[in-house]
Amino acid sequence: MNYRTIRTVIYSTLLLLVFLLPASAQQKNSVKVTLNVRNGTMESIIQSIMKQTSVKIVYNQELVQKAARMDFTANNEELKLVIRRLLKGSNLTFVLQDNVMVIGPKDESEEVKKKTGIIKGQVLDNTDKPLISVTVSVSGTSHNAFTNEEGEFTIETEEGNSITFSYVGFQKKTIKPHLGEVVDIKLVPDHNDMDEVVVTGYQTISKRLSSSSTYTLKGSEIIDPGSTNIISMLQGKVPGLDVVKTSGSPNAVPSMRMRGTSTLIGNANPIIVVDGIIRENPNNVNPDNPLGVDPSARDQIILKDNILSNASVAGNSISGLNQNDIESITFLKDASATAIYGTRAANGVIVITTKKGKSGKMEINYNSTYGTSRKPRYTDMQLMNSQQRVQFSREMYQDGYTYQSVPFNMGYEGAFQDLMNRKITEEQFQKNVAGLESMNTDWFDLLFQNTFNTSQHLSLSGGSDKTSYYTAFSYEQNKGTTKPDGLKQGSVSVNITSELSRKLSLNFNVGGSHRFSTNYFGTNPLDYAIKTSRAIPASLTYPVAEENAYGIANPLDFNIFNEMQQTGNSARDTKLSTTLGLNYLALRGLTLTSIASGNVSVLNSEQYATELSNYIANLRGYNYGSVAPGSDLEQSSYLPIGGILYQSNTSQYSYTLRNQAEFKRSLFTDDDQLDILAGQEMISVRYNGLNNLLPGYMHDRGEGFSISPNGINLLSPRKTNTLENSVSLYSTASYSFANKYILNGNIRTDASNRFGQFSNQRFLPVWSVSGLWNISSEKWMQNNRFVNNLRLNASYGFQGNVISSVGPDLILTIPDGTIPQNGSNEFQLNIKSLPYPDLRWEKTKSINLQLGGSLFNSFLNFDFAYYHKRTTDAITSKFIPVEYGLNMMYINGGNIENYGYDMTIGMNLIHNKDLNWRMSIVSGKNYNTLQKGTIDATSNITNEYLDGSVLIEGQPVNTFYVFSFKGLDPKTGVPLFYGIDGAGAVSKDSFIDYLKPAGSKNAKISGGFSTSVEYHAFSLGTNLSFKLGSKRLRNSVYSAFGVSIPLPDQNLPAILEQRWRKPGDEAFTDIPSYPKNTGVNGGGFVYLSNSDNMSRYQMYNHSDANVVSGSFLRCNRVDFSYRLPDQLVKRINVKRISVSGTASNLFVIADKKLRGQDPEIDGMGTTALPISKIFSLSLNVTF
């Protein structure tokens, strides 16, 4: 046994002694007695007591026999209390020392003491449910007791003393009862402590007894009529949860990181649990990387647009869940909280609890919301207007610039060509130019729209004392500001809770939703509006082509409106889920639970482009109708007839079977409580999918197909059929003593056959230990006027993670579109992945330390947590010699460190019957670093450094790299770079050697600020989110090749008006000039010793000159509501009516250097759409 093991055993033993010795000491004086004597003598009662206990009772027989006969009962009461009641009214008293009790006559001094007696009762909450472990204390003394499972208590006190009842999440209550009185106490919830219970999905725990790091939001705290996805509503509201809105589309799903990134290629988002059941995504695609960990060349070239477009409308596991049906959301952050979910919870858990019915008369609630979103405008961007763009072209000619090829006949260039070719006169030229300068085509107005959106929600709830129900119906129609972008969805849910008998209860819920999403395919309207000149008319169809270093290749006709009309992207997602749960109270304190749940999701999506689109013209090689039928060019084309249709159909089936037993009892006294949960769970998840690219699609001719011989090469059928089964055992145990000291342990065993040759790698126990000290429950804190609640908790745990897309076996694939080899009928096989028999779990060890409480009569509430997570054996890439058939394989080689803090501060600034003003700040800081040993061989792909996908030891995940901008060439104005130009230049073999880290795209600090003011029937609230410490690149100013002046159809950033134009300008500007057209061998390129080359303008786009801060402050929501007077609404037989107005995404404050670019969404060249302002008006009526 090594030193570390011995040290661990010693520390564990000491910890157990600290928790258990007080319990042992208390047990000696906690003998319980149960009696039921009719007309018995005092002596016989004493004899009966002696038979039940190990206490020896010595008494004066003569005095005892003088006592009158009596009826006497005791129900599991402490010995001291029983004897005191027995001797009440007599002249006898007693003394108890160790296990000996002496009963004798009272001293005269005792006769004048205050009368003592018993107070009994029950403590309920505001819904008449018993409260367990409520602290019942005698004011001015250290004597206290706790309520049992039925909320009942018994406490001894002296005549005239006050009794105080306190419980986390409820306001304290003090009474002055009479001796012997039986009282019923009802505690009122305290709005200062919203998270009075922690819902883990497996059990519900009092916040006071939870030693884990969790955070809870009520459903009313997340409501945002301007959001269509629940995840986006969480931004800035949860400490330690970083929510990134990657797009403003109503179909977009933000990405999430809880306390950093613990995996390098897997899905790093937390899992989502709804009513205790894990919800699966509608397809088995990583939302952060839709192309997958090892995409084929076909996926990256031919199918890339289809795959990314499909991902933009697919939704996530809770798409279709209506925000009005949510009761609460609990966030499980540390190992103690997430261990019960096993290996799937390494990135955190989000537990959503939906609303349930309450007993009473049926209540009908109707919520109707109407809203509008504002389309983006040019005033939001720093782009050239048509006059500036024409002036730019004029200056290009004035400065002696020429095109590599003859520019297209449009804009200023077209008018100038007509003048030079004497097609028009000088006067006509000036007139045409004046028209171009005032044209100002508003692409944002033409391609975007101000929308009208609606959301309707109806719920019915009620029931009897035994059975309650909650039923809800919803419908939403939300149009994005981009004209093709839209979302329609409807849902229905039924939730029934019933007490079938005194011991047996049932929970049943069923829900379904249907979602129809549309979006653009091919050309992103936001990209087009930013990049396209305003000096060309909207009706113009003009040739476009990609420019490269060697010129312009094969220009093809393009018109954005024709493109949007001839392409499409849509998805239909249907979900159905049902859960049946049975709870049986087998014994006092022992509850048996069985849950069976099934979920079905069917996702059908399609993207198409017709033969009239520019997208198909590029695949075809020529414009529609521009070649003769039967010509060689037509015969050699992949798509001589028709367009393409990409269909993706995925069905997801999952079921969960869970059986568990929970034992909750006091062990020795009412001061302690043991809670043990043990269970077994089976989960099965199956995905069946088929996607295919079908050429020859005739969208407007019956949606038929005409596949040419060459078109067969475009066929890309792919069938997926995955099945993941798991069987797990889990257990949690917690022990609470005096509600002061809580010790908790969790363990779950998960096994997987995805691993290699070593059987011990297939089995991984996930475990955690934690402890909580309720400091404010200590005697020396009882009368503290400043500290209302103070708690300290700590946890340590071990978790695992499995990457389903990586396996241990050699996998061979038949390349897409291949046919058997001639003469052999054998197919070519490609290596997809090499064998890796040492494949292991990704493992994470984490520690959490947390201090929280409330001060000054709950004026200030706070929570501070420090965490440290270290992940080993993370799956990462290893570069290998090409002789293996691949240049890269995946191995367990990653080591990731995440550490930081979470913080919550809440203040109740004003709290009275007329005015309430609350304010809260949540924040989380994460330091993420790749540790030594992560990378066996660093990537040699320059673009992976530039886009931030490279993994470098000592750097955070998503660190991108840039060139060091030195300045402008004083002769030509082209950009210069350190290490490449001038003094200190060093010849190197790779551009990677000239790069330096610019920073991480991930924010180091994220959080939010919320405040609400309530005055009588009026309320005003706001929520702002912030991110600090991230870096971004501005949208590119120059084209990737940038060796000649822009084409006439291209718009430019207004900053180019400040570009270098003549020697000496470098003293006033750092904006490069365009080089004179000298082709690939000119001054616009940098050549290395190995002939590798790169455009200086691409290097400038990716230089520190364009690195800006990604920090921002966004106003997510401002809402105002008014509740009509009760006297008024009762006249029309209505319980409540309220109206509210909400403004979402009202403003964002960010680095001015962004030049109007949104600091959060992805830049140009992605599927991102702008985040727009949304204004909503809601009516809420309860009958």
Residues 6 or more apart whose Cβ sits within 8 Å of residue 1180: 365, 366, 367, 368, 1136, 1137, 1138, 1139, 1140
Please give the single-letter amino acid code of residue 499. Answer: E
Spans of the chain below 70 pLDDT: 1-30, 107-114, 127, 140, 142, 168-169, 190-196, 404-405, 546-553, 669-670, 752-763, 816-819, 821-824, 934-938, 1040-1044, 1075-1083, 1163-1167
Residues 6 or more apart whose Cβ sits within 8 Å of residue 807: 754, 833, 836, 839
What's the pLDDT at 193?
Answer: 46
Which one, of 745, 742, 751, lies nearest residue 774 by Cα? 742
Degrees to nearest 5, angle at CA 509 with 504 and 515: 170
| Cβ atoms 366, 254 nearer than 8 A | no
Q: What is the DSSP string of 250-307?
A: TT---EEEESS---SSS--SPEEEETTEEPPPSSS--TT-TT-SS--HHHHHTSHHHH
Tokens of 700: 């407007």
Helix or strand holding residue 944 (H, E): helix 942-947
**For a pLDDT cut of 70, what percent of the chain falls above it?**
91
Query: CA dist 333 to 280, 656, 928, Å?
Result: 20, 23, 16
What's the pLDDT at 73?
Answer: 82
Pairing of strands 100-105, 56-59: parallel
Which one, of 656, 654, 722, lies nearest residue 285 by Cα? 722
The DSSP secondary-structure symbol of 364 reads E
What's the pLDDT at 57?
Answer: 83
pLDDT tens per residue, range 459-479: 999 988 789 999 999 999 999
What distance in Å separates the CA atoms of residue 70 and residue 786, rounded to the nearest whole number? 50
Pairing of strands 271-274, 349-354: parallel
Query: CA dist 814 to 805, 819, 829, 832, 890, Å?
Result: 18, 9, 5, 9, 21
Q: What is the pTM of this model?
A: 0.82
Please give the single-letter amino acid code of residue 255. Answer: S
Q: Where are the alpha helices (DSSP H) in 525-596?
A: 525-531, 560-565
pLDDT tens per residue, range 1092-1119: 888 888 899 999 999 999 999 999 999 9
Helix axes 426-437, 411-420, angle to 10 degrees: 180
Reduced to 3 states, what is the DSSP secondary structure of residue 1115? strand
Which one, of 923, 924, 979, lies nearest residue 1099 by Cα? 979
380 phi and psi angles, rounded to 5 deg: -80, -15
| Cβ atoms 964, 1104 nearer than 8 A | yes
| Cβ atoms 451, 282 nearer than 8 A | no
What's the pLDDT at 752?
Answer: 66
Across the strands, what pairs with 77?
33
Q: What is the DSSP string of 701-742?
A: TTTEE---TGGGGG---EEEEEEEEEEEEEEEEEEEETTTEE
User: Residue holding tokens 């009509």?
Assistant: 1124
What's the pLDDT at 1090?
Answer: 77
What distance in Å separates the CA atoms of residue 1144 and residue 451, rounded to the nearest whole number? 14
Query: CA dist 885 to 819, 843, 880, Å?
Result: 21, 30, 9
